[in-house]
Protein backbone atom coordinates (compact mmCIF):
# COMPACT_ATOMS: atom_id res chain seq x y z
CA UNK A 1 0.00 0.00 0.00
CA UNK A 2 1.32 3.42 -0.89
CA UNK A 3 1.86 6.11 1.72
CA UNK A 4 -0.65 8.92 2.06
CA UNK A 5 0.35 11.99 0.06
CA UNK A 6 1.57 15.19 1.66
CA UNK A 7 -1.49 17.04 0.29
CA UNK A 8 -3.82 14.65 2.09
CA UNK A 9 -1.82 14.95 5.30
CA UNK A 10 -1.96 18.75 5.18
CA UNK A 11 -5.71 18.66 4.47
CA UNK A 12 -6.25 16.46 7.51
CA UNK A 13 -4.24 18.82 9.73
CA UNK A 14 -6.16 21.85 8.37
CA UNK A 15 -9.50 20.13 8.93
CA UNK A 16 -8.58 19.33 12.52
CA UNK A 17 -7.43 22.89 13.22
CA UNK A 18 -10.31 24.72 11.50
CA UNK A 19 -13.23 22.60 12.61
CA UNK A 20 -13.94 21.51 16.14
CA UNK A 21 -14.82 18.01 14.92
CA UNK A 22 -13.68 14.86 16.59
CA UNK A 23 -10.73 12.86 15.30
CA UNK A 24 -13.12 10.06 14.32
CA UNK A 25 -15.18 12.42 12.11
CA UNK A 26 -12.06 13.74 10.36
CA UNK A 27 -10.75 10.23 9.85
CA UNK A 28 -14.06 9.15 8.36
CA UNK A 29 -14.22 12.26 6.16
CA UNK A 30 -10.81 11.53 4.61
CA UNK A 31 -11.04 7.73 4.64
CA UNK A 32 -8.15 7.11 7.01
CA UNK A 33 -7.92 5.53 10.45
CA UNK A 34 -8.35 7.47 13.67
CA UNK A 35 -4.90 6.38 14.84
CA UNK A 36 -3.35 7.84 11.66
CA UNK A 37 -5.00 11.20 12.40
CA UNK A 38 -3.78 11.12 16.01
CA UNK A 39 -0.20 10.24 15.03
CA UNK A 40 -0.19 12.87 12.30
CA UNK A 41 -1.37 15.59 14.69
CA UNK A 42 1.12 14.49 17.33
CA UNK A 43 3.94 14.96 14.81
CA UNK A 44 2.50 18.27 13.58
CA UNK A 45 2.24 19.79 17.06
CA UNK A 46 5.74 18.54 17.93
CA UNK A 47 7.11 20.39 14.89
CA UNK A 48 8.27 17.19 13.19
CA UNK A 49 8.08 16.35 9.49
CA UNK A 50 4.70 15.00 8.39
CA UNK A 51 5.70 14.06 4.83
CA UNK A 52 5.71 10.35 4.05
CA UNK A 53 9.05 8.63 4.53
CA UNK A 54 10.93 7.39 1.49
CA UNK A 55 10.64 3.75 0.52
CA UNK A 56 13.62 1.84 1.87
CA UNK A 57 13.76 -0.64 -1.00
CA UNK A 58 12.93 -3.90 0.76
CA UNK A 59 15.20 -6.82 1.51
CA UNK A 60 18.42 -7.35 -0.39
CA UNK A 61 18.27 -10.12 -3.02
CA UNK A 62 19.51 -13.53 -1.88
CA UNK A 63 21.44 -14.02 -5.11
CA UNK A 64 23.99 -11.30 -5.72
CA UNK A 65 25.54 -10.39 -9.06
CA UNK A 66 28.23 -13.03 -8.75
CA UNK A 67 25.68 -15.80 -8.11
CA UNK A 68 23.52 -14.64 -11.02
CA UNK A 69 26.52 -14.70 -13.35
CA UNK A 70 27.26 -18.21 -12.11
CA UNK A 71 23.67 -19.24 -12.93
CA UNK A 72 24.04 -17.79 -16.41
CA UNK A 73 27.28 -19.77 -16.93
CA UNK A 74 25.74 -23.02 -15.67
CA UNK A 75 22.78 -22.62 -18.02
CA UNK A 76 25.10 -21.98 -20.96
CA UNK A 77 26.85 -25.27 -20.19
CA UNK A 78 23.69 -27.22 -19.25
CA UNK A 79 20.64 -25.64 -20.90
CA UNK A 80 18.30 -28.41 -19.66
CA UNK A 81 19.23 -28.00 -15.99
CA UNK A 82 16.24 -28.11 -13.66
CA UNK A 83 15.56 -25.67 -10.85
CA UNK A 84 16.42 -28.39 -8.33
CA UNK A 85 19.77 -29.01 -10.05
CA UNK A 86 20.52 -25.29 -10.04
CA UNK A 87 19.66 -25.11 -6.33
CA UNK A 88 22.03 -28.02 -5.64
CA UNK A 89 24.77 -26.30 -7.63
CA UNK A 90 24.31 -23.11 -5.61
CA UNK A 91 24.27 -25.12 -2.39
CA UNK A 92 27.74 -26.45 -3.26
CA UNK A 93 28.79 -22.79 -3.45
CA UNK A 94 27.36 -22.29 0.07
CA UNK A 95 24.23 -20.47 -1.11
CA UNK A 96 21.11 -22.17 0.17
CA UNK A 97 18.09 -20.94 -1.81
CA UNK A 98 14.71 -22.36 -2.77
CA UNK A 99 13.65 -23.11 -6.36
CA UNK A 100 11.37 -20.06 -6.38
CA UNK A 101 14.33 -17.78 -5.73
CA UNK A 102 16.26 -19.36 -8.59
CA UNK A 103 13.22 -19.07 -10.86
CA UNK A 104 12.83 -15.35 -10.10
CA UNK A 105 16.54 -14.78 -10.70
CA UNK A 106 16.31 -16.53 -14.08
CA UNK A 107 13.28 -14.44 -15.01
CA UNK A 108 15.16 -11.25 -14.12
CA UNK A 109 18.09 -12.44 -16.24
CA UNK A 110 15.60 -13.28 -19.01
CA UNK A 111 16.81 -16.89 -19.03
CA UNK A 112 13.76 -19.16 -19.18
CA UNK A 113 13.84 -22.73 -17.95
CA UNK A 114 13.72 -24.89 -21.06
CA UNK A 115 11.75 -28.09 -21.11
CA UNK A 116 13.47 -31.06 -22.63
CA UNK A 117 12.00 -32.23 -25.95
CA UNK A 118 12.01 -35.80 -24.66
CA UNK A 119 9.42 -35.01 -21.99
CA UNK A 120 5.98 -36.54 -22.33
CA UNK A 121 3.13 -34.22 -23.09
CA UNK A 122 0.71 -33.23 -20.38
CA UNK A 123 -2.05 -35.73 -19.62
CA UNK A 124 -4.67 -33.00 -19.52
CA UNK A 125 -6.52 -32.62 -22.79
CA UNK A 126 -9.42 -30.55 -23.89
CA UNK A 127 -12.53 -32.33 -24.95
CA UNK A 128 -13.78 -35.83 -24.31
CA UNK A 129 -12.76 -39.33 -25.24
CA UNK A 130 -9.48 -40.51 -26.68
CA UNK A 131 -9.63 -38.22 -29.72
CA UNK A 132 -9.95 -35.02 -27.69
CA UNK A 133 -12.94 -33.75 -29.66
CA UNK A 134 -16.17 -32.57 -28.10
CA UNK A 135 -16.62 -30.81 -24.84
CA UNK A 136 -15.90 -31.37 -21.21
CA UNK A 137 -15.33 -35.13 -21.07
CA UNK A 138 -19.04 -35.99 -20.95
CA UNK A 139 -20.56 -38.65 -23.12
CA UNK A 140 -23.37 -37.45 -25.29
CA UNK A 141 -26.63 -39.33 -24.82
CA UNK A 142 -29.37 -39.15 -27.43
CA UNK A 143 -32.51 -37.42 -26.27
CA UNK A 144 -35.56 -39.63 -26.23
CA UNK A 145 -38.01 -38.79 -28.96
CA UNK A 146 -41.67 -38.05 -28.28
CA UNK A 147 -42.79 -41.43 -29.57
CA UNK A 148 -40.30 -43.21 -27.32
CA UNK A 149 -41.52 -41.40 -24.22
CA UNK A 150 -45.17 -42.12 -25.05
CA UNK A 151 -44.47 -45.86 -25.28
CA UNK A 152 -43.01 -45.91 -21.75
CA UNK A 153 -45.85 -43.84 -20.28
CA UNK A 154 -48.23 -46.83 -19.97
DSSP string, 85-117: HHHHHHHHTT----HHHHHHHHHHTT-PPPPPT
Closest alpha carbon to 88 in 99, 100, 77: 99
Secondary structure of residue 128 in the 3-state scheme: strand
What is the number of other CB atoms lying within 10 angstroms of the CB of residue 12?
23
- Give residue 117's pLDDT: 58
pLDDT digits (tens, 9 = 90+) for 11-35: 999 999 887 778 899 999 999 999 9
**Cα gap 43→39, rounded to integer Å:** 6
pLDDT over 90 percentage in the chain: 29
Torsion of CA 9, 13, 15, 19, to 10 degrees: 170
pTM of the model: 0.42
Q: Tell me the average pLDDT across 101-112.
A: 85
Amino acid sequence: MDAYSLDLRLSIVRACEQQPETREAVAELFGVSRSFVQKLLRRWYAGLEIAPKAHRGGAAPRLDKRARNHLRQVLLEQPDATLAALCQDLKRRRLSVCPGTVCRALQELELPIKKSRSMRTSGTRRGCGPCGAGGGGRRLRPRPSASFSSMNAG
